[in-house]
Amino acid sequence: MEDLRKVLRPGRIIYPILIGLGVASWMLYRNFDQEAFGFFSWSWAALFGLSAAFAMMAVRDIAYMYRLRILTDGELTWKQSFQVIMLWEFSSAVSPSVVGGTGPAIFFLYKEGVNSGKSTAVVLTAIFLDEVFFILMVPVLYLLYGNNIFPDIESDFADGIVAGLIIGYSFIFIYTVLLAYTLFFNPYFFKWLLSWIFLIPFLRRFRTRMRKLANQLIVTSILLKGKSFSYWVKAFIATFFSWTGRYWVVNFMFMAFFFSHISLADHFLIYARQLTMWIILLVSPTPGGSGIAEFIFSDFLGNFLPNFAWAVPLALLWRLISYYPYLFMGVIVLPGWLKRVYKKKSTYEKIELD
């Protein structure tokens, strides 16, 4: 509980903000161009595009809330789902991307009255669906666009990015296949595999934690047995809309200022580029990918712009729409949520005593 309080401490929002702004400022300074903000001009097209970009984040969150209600079998209300999603995103935003908000998410569900086994099952199933989305969509988009889904960087750094993406995708693919086998065919396989791997001397100190994860997967497997086909279809459709909503933020940003410059085919390629870009962000060591996101935005998407110098301020705008709001929403939602769930607990205890 003490560790969780450290993760959720409102003061932690300052670190990702400073990292993101610091990297963006450094990039602006390194490639100074007095026309860096020359693309920005208010018009009806700009207003529509930016409004649509914010609407895409709303689509993303509503899809996540809907998925949460499906995965909990309707145990959570829309209000509860909203608060859990906001706090889940907040914990992810202030934690390194490679760590994520898995632990806090289980805690949030448990405090909402979902039993501990089912809370774990819901979070692990949500993660599994996200991974399935990645491993299915990347090959589809690669078949359509080939190597164009990789950034256009003419340097040795480009080879490193492509290699990193291939390694990252391979890791996600192997992990998802093992997870699927464990959840749907042999729940004890993962426990055996982890027990064997973590006998290696330098990994032994993590063995207890990994065995706990394996036990959680076994519980998840048991709870998922018998779920209907429609359950999985609805959950995956919600997953598709949530990720697509997140990605189309950039598309509508570009439409706001460069409507005539970017073709329909380019928009789908921008979507594909973001999918590969996100593989890097998933293993970022910084909170919410701060700094890394602003840096790679230019490399992956800068060539779609009439002026490459506009990429950095657009990266900042992208983060202002899709990332920073969760930092502040978490700070707003957290105090009221804590007061509500702990008041509910005190009420239950009083009833039992009476």
The model's pLDDT over 80-138, given as tens digits with 9 standing for 90+, comes to 999 999 998 888 877 765 556 677 888 899 888 888 888 888 998 999 999 999 999 98
Domain that holds residue 322: 2-353
pLDDT of residue 102: 74
Closest Cα to residue 174, out of 190, 159, 185?
A: 190
pLDDT band at 188 (very low <50, low <70, confident <90, very high): confident
- How much is the pTM? 0.83
Interhelix angle for 44-71 vs 78-93, to 10°? Answer: 110
Specify which residues 96 forms β-bridges with.
287
| Measured distance CA(255)–CA(66) in Å, rounded | 28
Kindly state the tokens that stand for 105.
């998410």
Return the minimum-mean-pLDDT range out of 43-47, 172-176, 208-212, 244-248. Answer: 208-212
Examine the pLDDT at 322 and tell me if it is beyond 70.
Answer: yes
Across 14-28, 123-137, 138-152, the highest mean pLDDT is recorded for: 123-137
- What's the full length of the chain, in residues? 354
Please state, rounded to an integer, the average pLDDT across all residues of the chain: 79
Domain count, the chain: 1
**What percentage of the chain reaches a pLDDT higher than 70?**
77
Amino acid 191: pLDDT: 76
The CA distance from 123 to 216, in Å, is: 11
